[in-house]
Amino acid sequence: MANVRLEDIKRRFNNVTAIEDITFEIPDGEFWVLVGPSGCGKSTILRTIAGLESATSGKLFIGDRLVNNIPARQRDVAMVFQNYALYPHMTVAQNIAFGLQMRKFDAKTIQDRVVTVARSLSLEHLLDRKPKQLSGGQQQRVALGRAIAREPQVFLLDEPLSNLDAQLRDDTRAELKQLHQKLGITTIYVTHDQVEAMTLADKIVVLNNGRIQQIGEPQSIYGCPANRMVATFLGSPPMNILPAKFKNDAFDLGGQLLGIPGNIREELKPQQGQGFDLGIRPEHIYFNEPQRRRERREEEVVNSPLPTPNSPFLEVEVKVVEPLGRETLIRGGLVGSPGVLVNVQAGADVRLRSGDRLTLQLDMNQLFVFDASTGEALY
């Protein structure tokens, strides 16, 4: 097993810079997830570590070894791709054994490892089958098994669950986590799925446009995002972003005034008239359901109090009500700010309808303030 260290790695393809300034060190045995939108450079980083791409500049270490010029097969890493890439004419056992045979392990060792790996991935009963006789999830487990059997120093997984349906993806994700706990092999996992990132990672590396946005433990990134991109990428439904102007000691959102938490009011004072993006997660917004009169159910009365300066209240008009079983997602249009939507998580039993007016109460301790142009988190 080994730590993996990247120092200022850059990769250009002709005139396109796919990744740059990539610097991090993964301690031996940790599970790190590279996450970000399509094209942000995740796979390029992984392929560079694997030796399938070469860095344009920068240094890459696996263990204490500088591996920039070491070919892929001598790096002692195993990579699993989203399309499994199993050999269709070989059985499961032969697929798992293949890498060991190539490395000239003796027959007894190979046999033992195939059995051990198959057992750890619940594949024992499938060893004689060919890939096409397996489900997607089983094929993916074989691909993992083939990688594990080699006992590499580092595991590289590129969107390994993306071809599985939702239920299987959840199950396999949990299996992967268990497997890592059991084997303790340094693992680097690429995904654009923020749930996989949050649930699997010891540390998450959030990427955008080929650059690192933030590195940290899932909960700390979720709780303290470095910028608007990270804030909106992690979390489902995502953090609400509400454009506001700082005016007369309050945030002005299209005419609605939102109070400013005392701790930042003084700091913002010199910035009268400036625009900011406010961030608030759906789970940090509350409301009381409008009362409906029994005799005229369609009529609704919005709960007071009305928004005033220093208050944590905002008014929305309900656009969409999405029952999700355990909870309901409300999408409201911010009154006075055309096109600005506010997502709110509510209980399963809300009786709202499209067109209802709602007064939302924001947990002001959970309010983020982002620089409107750079997106940097200010507070």
Binding-site ranges for ligand ATP (CB under 6 A): 13, 16, 18, 36, 38-44, 192
Beta-bridge partners for 4: 26, 62
Beta strands across the sheet bearing 285-286: 285-286, 357-362, 313-323, 327-334, 341-347
Per DSSP (E only), the strands in 14-85 are 16-26, 31-35, 57-62, 65-66, 77-80
DSSP 131-171: GGGS-HHHHHHHHHHHHHHT--SEEEEESTTTTS-HHHHHH
Nearer to ligand ATP, 126 or 190 (CB): 190
Give min distance, CB of 73 to ligand ATP, in A.
Answer: 20
Nearer to ligand ATP, 47 or 113 (CB): 47
Give min distance, CB of 302 to ligand ATP, in A.
Answer: 44
Closest-CA residue to 330 (of 312, 309, 347, 307)? 347
CA distances from 178 to 214, 243, 280 (A): 26, 42, 34
Give min distance, CB of 109 to ligand ATP, in A.
Answer: 35
Nearer to ligand ATP, 11 or 113 (CB): 11
- Is-contact 188 155, C-beta < 8 A? yes
Give min distance, CB of 16 to ligand ATP, in A.
Answer: 5
Give min distance, CB of 338 to ligand ATP, in A.
Answer: 33
DSSP-assigned letter for residue 283: G
Give min distance, CB of 24 to ligand ATP, in A.
Answer: 16
Nearer to ligand ATP, 94 or 209 (CB): 209
